[in-house]
Amino acid sequence: MRWFFPLLIAAAPAFAETCPAVPDRSAEKAAHYAGLLAATNEQGAAPHNAGLWDIWLDAPDATAQGLLDRGIAARRFGDFLASIAALDRLVDYCPDYAEGYNQRAFTYFLGGRFEQSLADLDRTLAIDPRHIGALSGKGLTLIELGRTDAAQEALKAAVALHPWLTERSLITEAPGTDL
């Protein structure tokens, strides 16, 4: 049994501290959401969309930011296993940071692991119900799963927040609603 204790240490996360609380940036987000709704075209919406992504991708501390950046970089290089590993560590370290789940959901989606993607998108939305990226990602994931009605609901919710969202083209009208 002497070997058991060192195994526990080796399996522990490399960081001992805990993730700080995610800063409240609701006023900044509200301004960007208002800007999206007020925009008269895609170009007018772009700075507000970028502003939201800047907020979402700003992790609570340097440890979390490093894990997020590693997960995103690995995914860009097509290394989904390394991306998931980094993002797993991120959500373990910062379970209240919505973007950790959202980024892992995106990696799962790209890897064809749609059920896992959907679970992470739901977790993202439980933390941040107005996360446009998670709402549109949920719509796309549900389309892949053949759940069209639920996909339409998610896409409509995303477009209600961001009328110029690219995925708006995927919203279909119910039969018989043409005039």
What is the C-alpha separation between 59 and 50, in angstroms, rounded?
A: 16
Q: 20-49, pLDDT tens digit by residue? A: 999 999 999 999 999 999 999 999 999 999
Domain-embedded: residue 132: yes
Q: Would you list the DSSP string of 86-149? A: HHHHHHHH-TT-HHHHHHHHHHHHHTT-HHHHHHHHHHHHHH-TT-HHHHHHHHHHHHHTT-HH
Tell me the pLDDT tens digit for each residue of 134-159.
Answer: 999 999 999 999 999 999 999 999 99
- Scored b (16 or more CB within 10 A) or e, 128-142 reads bebbbbbbbbbbbbb
Domain range enclosing 99: 48-170
pLDDT at 177: 54
In a domain, 94, yes or no: yes
Average the pLDDT over 7-19 and give the result.
Answer: 52
| Domain contains 30 | no
Q: 35, 45 in Cβ contact below 8 A?
A: yes
SS3 for 81? Answer: helix
Q: What is the CATH number of the domain that holds 143?
A: 1.25.40.10
Domain count, the chain: 1
Which residue type occupies 16?
A
Please tell me the predicted confidence (pLDDT) of residue 21: 94
CA angle 29, 35, 36 (to 5 degrees): 90
Tell whether 31 is covered by a domain. Answer: no
Residue 168 burial (CB < 10 Å; 0-12/13-18/19+)? Answer: middle
Q: Answer whether residue 18 is part of any domain.
A: no
Q: Is the pLDDT of residue 16 over 80?
A: no
Q: Is residue 166 part of a domain?
A: yes
Please determine, for residue 55, whether its predicted confidence score (pLDDT) is greater than 80: yes
For residue 1, tell me if it sits in a domain.
no
